[in-house]
Amino acid sequence: MFSNKTEFKETFLKRLEMLYGKSFSESSERDHYQTLGNMIREYVSNDWIKTNESYLAGKEKQVYYLSIEYLLGKLLRQNLINLGIEDTVQQGLHELGIDLSELEELEADAGLGNGGLGRLAACFLDSLASLNLPGHGHGIRYKHGLFEQKIVDGYQVELPEQWLRGGNVWEVRKADLAVKIPFWGKVEARTENGRLVFHHLNAETVTAVPHDMPVIGYETKTVNTLRLWNAEPSQFPFHTDILQYKRETEAISEFLYPDDTHDEGKILRLKQQYLLVSASLQSIIKTYRKQHPNMNLFHHHVCIHINDTHPVLAIPELMRILIDEEGFEWERAWHITTNTISYTNHTTLTEALEKWPIRIFQPLLPRIYMIVEEINERFCQQLWEQSPGAWERIGQLAIIADEYVKMAHLAIVGSFSVNGVAKLHTEILKTREMNQFYQLFPEKFNNKTNGIAHRRWLLKANPKLSTLISDAIGTNWATSPNDLTQLLKYQDDPSFLEQLFKIKKENKQTLADIIYSKTGTIVNTDAIFDVQVKRLHAYKRQLLNVLHIMYLYNRIKEDSSFTVVPRVFIFGAKASPGYYYAKKIIKLINTVAEKVNNDPIIGDKMKVIFLENYRVSLAEKVFPASDVSEQISTASKEASGTGNMKFMINGALTLGTLDGANIEIQELVGASNIFIYGLTAEEVLHYYQHGGYQSIEYYHHDSRIRQAVDQLVNEFFPGVHNEFEPIFDSLLEENDQYFVLKDFASYADTHKTVGETFMDQRKWQKMSLINIAHAGYFSSDRTIKEYADNIWGIKPR
Ligand SMILES: *Cc1c(COP(=O)(O)O)cnc(C)c1O
């Protein structure tokens, strides 16, 4: 199509005319963006088709990754990088007077996810294609991604997100591959040819239309597919009120649920889950049937991975297809199903474990419910035979209990692999949260520590650092991230460390410019950029960070001789719209920011910045500019974290608890290259089990704590009345469930150490380099290889 910039320019101009019927001088930037996107899709189309053909011809095992979320961000530049045409395109455009980075601004973030779970799915897709692995994503094409956050008077305001407003240049709508999804109705059992068969009658059907996006591997010809399903009205619906039917149908793929922990308990959410699962299975089986005469060895050729429990209905849905449509007996269907499905657990927070009331589940999905009941009965029978009379155990393990369907139990019983996402998390699953299941099925449990697409979070997000690295150790680290360890030989090289420092400074300036343009606050790039960006949640303890900032403020105000190493505290966080407490914390951060930033006595010693609308594209600007990575969750609560890895690979030093993957970061860099503080998971879990923590004692005995906590409710913040009482109460009345006050002293001490260490710039730079050098382990390439080898059993094509 084009192999140099001259050809690129010619093709670009021709395509622009063809698509928009405009001459170049009449065309807009948006026309340019659309034209370029169109060209790239055509550029990959041949490899995309070839990849699919080779999968069909080769009959290799395929994996399908089912996820209710994909937090993709922008795709334009990553696609250009992966295709190896970034320079050609950038220069060609430049000669036409077009700035590639300005075109990038026109691309909307594809924000079809809340946070870590959705971003993990996006990173996995990149690694699957880059490793030439036969793995594809299935998800939902939400019309509106995660809400856009505005801060108004310090409060979060949510606006509907509009990523499809200008169309999505990357997708191909495949109306001919649409499938039907049945809801409601009733099930009739009949005996036909001596066999009991089930018919789903009077169902209201919805049409699911696939929209395929190419997933382009890095410097390889593999182009995999992300298939996103759109819910649309069927042509001849069984419904009395057509308009109502149309509204209800379109609502299914209208919004992403803006909550990454709580179960919303909405019919719509269950409809989304079943639509994803049923549409994906129909499409997977259609492809499979092109190569194989029957479903008997389905599990030898297909693996279906469920990202958390949201797609767990894949288990009863596959059973339904095998029994009702393919005529298998229960036992054989169960063998095939439980050898097809693998499952990742993402949390041990009990409030986040999905469960559905039978009264919602049964009428909406009558046949699926029957199958879940049967799975449950057989499972409970098995438990009974193992230990007759152990009613309590059966009640605890049952899939259906107390009028609820427990999705995690269904996932464990109906899959062949259950993995946690970091060593500690998997241990907690095995020894505590899922211990009874672990005893039943020890062979199913395994760990796959999360990873990040280092080609996005370093190669793309931090081009200057990437160039420095490639000049030093060559470019192989892009495909062999462990090569980054070769950087260790520069750890005492002053000129290398100096360049590292210079790049960090430039990236800090870029972020400082963004901060100025968004908030009007000028920040000093010599200060420590101390950053906490992630969803707002009590267990992530943004509150601990804020209380410590209030303490520093108080110290500076009281004692003019008190010296601090200047800091810019940067926050970015969306709170779930219904999460009242989290929204209070956002208001608190903004209130503290207002006070600190406008106090002349504080000046450049401290600034507090809340970055509005934290999302992938903003994150790509934040990590390269960070000095300190705040990973301060209550130990045991953060399953893995992946933000911690993105900071690390960009040379920020972790200030964190021994939680999630922080533990594995410490194992890699050594205790002297990370700032660890606070309770361990074991200590936290011991307190939860046996009690013994009284937050009020810490309030009484530590004047730093008392002063800051009192300021939440006294006249310290002018004009806010009772605003922060719920926060005050959570700490004292409710005995501080997340050990904020307990960990305060060690957090403050460790911050002091951070400051002192930063004063020794050479030492800091060396620590930073050591972190970058060891971050290759956290590439999702490593994670995906482990999934491919140890769970999925797939091989590179
Ligand atoms: C990586 C990422 C997350 C996850 O961050 P954690 O610190 O692991 O919770 C959330 N949101 C965005 C936009 C991300 O890029």
DSSP 52-63: HHHHHHH---EE
- The verdict on residue 244 lying in a domain is yes
Number of neighbouring beta carbons within 10 Å of residue 492: 11
In this prediction, residue 265 carries a pLDDT of 77
Does 135 share its domain with 269?
yes
Does 404 share its domain with 545?
no
Q: Which of 387, 415, 443 is the last residue of a domain?
A: 415
| Calpha distance 68→280 (Å, rounded) | 12
- The verdict on residue 711 lying in a domain is yes
- The verdict on residue 22 lying in a domain is no
Q: Which of 365, 394, 415 is the last residue of a domain?
A: 415
Number of domains in the chain: 2
Q: CA-CA-CA-CA torsion for 635, 638, 639, 640, nearest 10 degrees?
A: -100
Residue 260 has pLDDT above 70, yes or no: no
Pairing of strands 148-152, 155-159: antiparallel
Does 461 share its domain with 396?
no
Residue 337 has pLDDT above 90, yes or no: yes
Does 685 share its domain with 744?
yes
What would the two tokens of residue 413 be? 């019983």
In this prediction, residue 435 carries a pLDDT of 97
- The verdict on residue 248 lying in a domain is yes
CB neighbours of 786 closer than 8 A, spacing ≥ 6?
Answer: 448
Q: Can you tell me which atom of ligand 1 is nearest the CA of 614? A: 13
- The verdict on residue 577 lying in a domain is yes
Q: Which of 415, 442, 477 is the last residue of a domain?
A: 415
Task: Exactly one of 540, 548, 637, 751 is catalytic; name it.
Answer: 540
- The verdict on residue 40 lying in a domain is no
Choose the residue to mutate in 78, 114, 119, 537 for probing ligand 1, maximizing ligand atoms within 8 Å of C-beta.
119
Q: Can you tell me which atom of ligand 1 is nearest the CA of 660? A: 8
Task: Report the nearest-CA residue for atom 10 of ligand 1.
Answer: 115
Give the chain's radius of gyration (CA, Å). 27
- Backbone φ, ψ for residue 628 (5° rounding): -120, 135
Active site residue 535: yes
- The verdict on residue 38 lying in a domain is no
Q: How far is CA 16 from CA 12, 32, 74, 75, 716, in A?
A: 6, 7, 22, 20, 60
What would the two tokens of residue 662 be? 């922080």
Proportion of the chain in helix, strand, coil states, percent, rounded to 5: 55, 15, 30
Does 406 share its domain with 332?
yes
Cα distance from N-terminal residue to C-terminal residue, the chain: 25
| Calpha distance 380→403 (Å, rounded) | 16
In this prediction, residue 261 carries a pLDDT of 72
Active site residue 700: no
Does 383 share its domain with 504?
no
In this prediction, residue 225 carries a pLDDT of 98
Using the Cα atoms of residue 694, residue 700, residue 706 and residue 712 in order, give the sign of their dihedral: positive
Query: Under a CB-based contact definition with an 8 Å cutoff, are residues 187 and 200 in contact?
Result: yes
| Calpha distance 43→159 (Å, rounded) | 36
Region 707-714 average pLDDT = 98
CB neighbours of 492 closer than 8 A, spacing ≥ 6?
Answer: 766
At residue 240 the predicted structure's pLDDT band, cuts being 50, 70 and 90, is confident
In this prediction, residue 785 carries a pLDDT of 98
Query: Under a CB-based contact definition with an 8 Å cutoff, are residues 155 and 586 in contact?
Result: yes
Residue 133 has pLDDT above 70, yes or no: yes
Residue 227 has pLDDT above 80, yes or no: yes
Does 373 share its domain with 467?
no
Choose the residue to mutate in 450, 534, 615, 648 for probing ligand 1, maximizing ligand atoms within 8 Å of C-beta.
534
The string of pLDDT tens digits covering residues 14-63 is 999 999 998 899 999 999 999 999 999 999 999 999 999 999 998 899 99
Task: Exactly one of 119, 320, 646, 742 is catalytic; name it.
Answer: 646
**Residue ranges around ligand 1 (CB below 6 Å):** 115-116, 119, 534-535, 615-616, 619, 641-643, 646
In this prediction, residue 238 carries a pLDDT of 65
For residue 756, count CB atoms less than 10 angstroms from its CB and return exposed for 0-12, middle for 13-18, buried for 19 or more.
exposed
Number of neighbouring beta carbons within 10 Å of residue 186: 12
Assign 112 to helix, strand or coil: strand
Active site residue 540: yes
Nearest to 7 by CA among 79, 81, 92: 92
Q: Any idea what the Cα angle at residue 617 is, between residues 43 and 785, rounded to 5°?
A: 65
Assign 610 to helix, strand or coil: strand
- Burial per residue of 217-232, b for 16 or more beta-carbon CB atoms within 10 angstroms, e otherwise: bbebebbbbbbbbbbb
The string of pLDDT tens digits covering residues 261-279 is 777 778 999 999 999 999 9
Domain that holds residue 544: 454-782
What residue ranges in 467-548 does DSSP mark as E strands? 528-533
Residue 373 has pLDDT above 90, yes or no: yes
Does 207 share its domain with 295?
yes
- Burial per residue of 615-654, b for 16 or more beta-carbon CB atoms within 10 angstroms, e otherwise: bbbbbbbbbbbbbbbbbbbbbbbbbbbbbbbbbbbbbbbb
- The verdict on residue 387 lying in a domain is yes
pTM (two decimals): 0.98
Task: Report the nearest-CA residue for atom 12 of ligand 1.
Answer: 115
| Calpha distance 343→413 (Å, rounded) | 10
In this prediction, residue 701 carries a pLDDT of 98
The string of pLDDT tens digits covering residues 386-431 is 999 999 999 999 999 999 999 999 999 999 999 999 999 999 999 9
Region 746-765 average pLDDT = 98
Residue 237 has pLDDT above 70, yes or no: no
Does 508 share its domain with 636?
yes
Nearest to 440 by CA among 365, 390, 371: 390
Using the Cα atoms of residue 13, residue 14, residue 16 and residue 21 in order, give the sign of their dihedral: positive
Region 755-777 average pLDDT = 98
In this prediction, residue 262 carries a pLDDT of 74
Number of neighbouring beta carbons within 10 Å of residue 85: 20
In this prediction, residue 259 carries a pLDDT of 78
Assign 138 to helix, strand or coil: strand
Task: Exactly one of 642, 657, 750, 783 is catalytic; name it.
Answer: 642
Does 389 share its domain with 473?
no
Query: Which one-letter DSSP state was computed for residue 671?
Result: G
At residue 179 the predicted structure's pLDDT band, cuts being 50, 70 and 90, is very high
**How far does residue 404's CA lie from ligand 1's centre (Å)?**
31
For residue 759, count CB atoms less than 10 angstroms from its CB and return exposed for 0-12, middle for 13-18, buried for 19 or more.
exposed
Nearest to 340 by CA among 271, 283, 285, 399: 285
Residue 281 belongs to a domain with what CATH number?
3.40.50.2000
Does 524 share its domain with 645?
yes
**How far does residue 650's CA lie from ligand 1's centre (Å)?**
15
The string of pLDDT tens digits covering residues 514-549 is 999 999 999 999 999 999 999 999 999 999 999 999
Does 406 share its domain with 289?
yes
